[in-house]
A and B are shown apart, each in its own frame.
Chain A
Amino acid sequence: MKISIKGIGVLGGFGCGIADLKKSLTIGKSTTTAMVIKTTSGDIKAPAFLANTDRLKSFVNKRDLRRIDHYIRMALLGCFLALEDADMLHAKRGKMGIIIATGYGSTCNTFDLQHSVITEAAPFCSPIQFSNSVHNAAATYISILLKEMGPNLSVSHYDMSITSAFLTACQWLHQERVESVLVGSVDEYSKILGYFRHCLYNKGNKKADFAAKMNPEYAIIGEGANFFVLARENEAASPYGFIEDVKMGNFKRRGINLPENAAFFLGADGYSECDDQYVNYLSEDAGVASYSHLYGGLPVGTGFDIAIAALSNKLKTVFKSGDSPIYNSDRLNVIRHNEDLGSRRICCLKLGAGGSYGWVSLNQ
């Protein structure tokens, strides 16, 4: 039994939908938005990759969206785009599981609540804002809109969130708990994150070594959502390919066993202390690429890598990598031009906080 990718829904700095992601991969860049953070010592400028959710109105009526904030809108749009791509929006479907992962959670809400409840002299809390800040709010909304009563899970484990979500999605399918799983992730930009980037990449910063090696041009904060419809498949063909395996562990304590005959998509995005350690675990032959220059730095970036891997399967092409100096590129075989995928699998690898790693491999 294989796990096939039936549909993909993505939005982020590159645009909205799998076609926009493909365009961005072809051109090799996405458009940033210049963000301004007001501080008592003046304005701080920080570029960001923002996601636009206007298309959500074509799936959900305006009144149902009235209380829904940007974070939940991104998740909902990702879900609907994935279902549309899988031709499952209006089709009768069997029991479906829903899994939503997030690295930071509903960030803007959380900090606004922190301000109104903790910082303010007379604490107050809007019920709508509080309800939306609860980590499973997005998953709740999608289950209500889809009228789906199957198992529903929200996970938040920073940069291992999406990998752990895929682990569970595959388990549910293997167990025959459900016929399909709508699995994905979302993270949003907030001024706190913009400010954090400023602290990290400020010339005076002496605290984060990896940031000192990184060109800030390749460390743009990103936001967005990436969602997938997965299903058990016995037929041979699946244009986006199959989820072959999901592994998680700790590379500092036990190393990693990586699959052979693979192209590797690396989760180096300028925000992890392990960005410069991929070179220690990859052979010099293995072709590697990183695409965070298209969607930015966010804990659930691996989800975008999985979407790109699925596209690569469909088009039988591995797209050229971003050009970040973080990869010690003389020791890594960075894919500098579009090339034929051949018979390779694709392994989306993230080395994360605390020495944890997660990889998701796709085969054709």
Chain B
Amino acid sequence: MTIKEKLKKLIVETLHLEDISPEEIEDDEPLFGEKLGLDSIDAVEIVFQVEQHFGVGIKNMKEGRPALESINTLAAFIEARL
């Protein structure tokens, strides 16, 4: 599984997005837009899950905000730190 595929699966499962499949998340769409309906707790949960599953930490939301814009930005952030 690619990093992007793994991230999509992680997001759907750990945020309990039952009505969306991982494949339906576009690589470049905003994660915090209307479609997924995520909020700030989801954001920190993604940070936690990324740390658990990829070993890559995000220190604070100043660092996290640009990284969490989309699957693309998040995958790039992780890859740069692996």
| B contact residues around A127 at 8 Å (CB) | 41, 44-45, 47-48
Chain B 1-16 per-residue mask, 1 if CB under 8 angstroms from chain A, else 0: 0000000000000111
CA distance A67 to B49 in the complex (A): 15
Contact A67 B15 (CB under 8 A): yes
Contact B45 A63 (CB under 8 A): no
The interface residues of chain B, by DSSP majority, are classed as helix
Partner of A66, one of B15, B44, B47, B48: B15
With A124-B48, A124-B52: A131-B41 Cβ-Cβ less than 8 Å: yes
Which residues in window 105-129 of A have CB below 8 A to B? 124-128
CA distance A260 to B29 in the complex (A): 69
Interface centre among B16, B17, B47 (most CB of A within 10 A): B16
- Does A62 belong to the interface (CB within 8 Å)? yes
Nearest Cβ distance between residue A198 and chain B, in whole angstroms? Answer: 32
Contact A126 B18 (CB under 8 A): no
Q: Which residue of A lies closest to B37 (CB)?
A: A63
Nearest Cβ distance between residue A75 and chain B, in whole angstroms? Answer: 18
Nearest Cβ distance between residue A208 and chain B, in whole angstroms? Answer: 40
- Does B19 belong to the interface (CB within 8 Å)? yes
| B contact residues around A67 at 8 Å (CB) | 15-16, 41
Contact B45 A126 (CB under 8 A): yes
| A contact residues around B15 at 8 Å (CB) | 66-67, 128
Chain A 50-75 per-residue mask, 1 if CB under 8 angstroms from chain B, else 0: 00000000000011001100000000
Contact B18 A66 (CB under 8 A): yes
| B contact residues around A124 at 8 Å (CB) | 48, 51-52
| A contact residues around B41 at 8 Å (CB) | 67, 127-128, 131
Contact B17 A126 (CB under 8 A): no
Partner of B16, one of A66, A125, A131: A66
| B contact residues around A62 at 8 Å (CB) | 18-19
| A contact residues around B52 at 8 Å (CB) | 124
| B contact residues around A126 at 8 Å (CB) | 14, 45, 48-49
Q: Which residue of A lies closest to B47 (CB)?
A: A127
Chain B 32-66 per-residue mask, 1 if CB under 8 angstroms from chain A, else 0: 00000100011011011101100000000000000
| A contact residues around B17 at 8 Å (CB) | 66
Contact A63 B19 (CB under 8 A): yes
Nearest Cβ distance between residue B29 and chain A, in whole angstroms? Answer: 17
Q: Which residue of B lies closest to A128 (CB)?
A: B45
| B contact residues around A131 at 8 Å (CB) | 41
CA distance A131 to B39 in the complex (A): 14
Nearest Cβ distance between residue A206 and chain B, in whole angstroms? Answer: 44
CA distance A137 to B10 in the complex (A): 24
| A contact residues around B44 at 8 Å (CB) | 127
| B contact residues around A125 at 8 Å (CB) | 48
CA distance A63 to B37 in the complex (A): 9
CA distance A67 to B42 in the complex (A): 9
Q: Which residue of B lies closest to A69 (CB)?
A: B16
Q: Which residue of A lies closest to B39 (CB)?
A: A67
CA distance A62 to B16 in the complex (A): 10
Nearest Cβ distance between residue B11 and chain A, in whole angstroms? Answer: 12
CA distance A62 to B45 in the complex (A): 19
Nearest Cβ distance between residue A180 and chain B, in whole angstroms? Answer: 30
* A binding-site residues for B, Cβ under 8 Å: 62-63, 66-67, 124-128, 131
Q: A124-B52, A126-B14 are in contact. List 19 more A-B contacts (CB 8 A).
A: A63-B19, A63-B37, A66-B15, A66-B18, A67-B15, A67-B41, A124-B48, A124-B51, A125-B48, A126-B48, A126-B49, A127-B41, A127-B44, A127-B47, A127-B48, A128-B14, A128-B15, A128-B41, A131-B41
Give 17 A-B contacts (CB < 8 Å), ordered by A residue: A63-B19, A63-B37, A66-B15, A66-B18, A67-B16, A67-B41, A124-B52, A125-B48, A126-B14, A126-B48, A127-B44, A127-B47, A127-B48, A128-B14, A128-B15, A128-B42, A128-B45
Which 9 A-B pairs give the minimum distances between C-beta atoms?
Answer: A66-B16, A127-B44, A128-B45, A127-B45, A127-B48, A126-B48, A131-B41, A127-B41, A67-B16
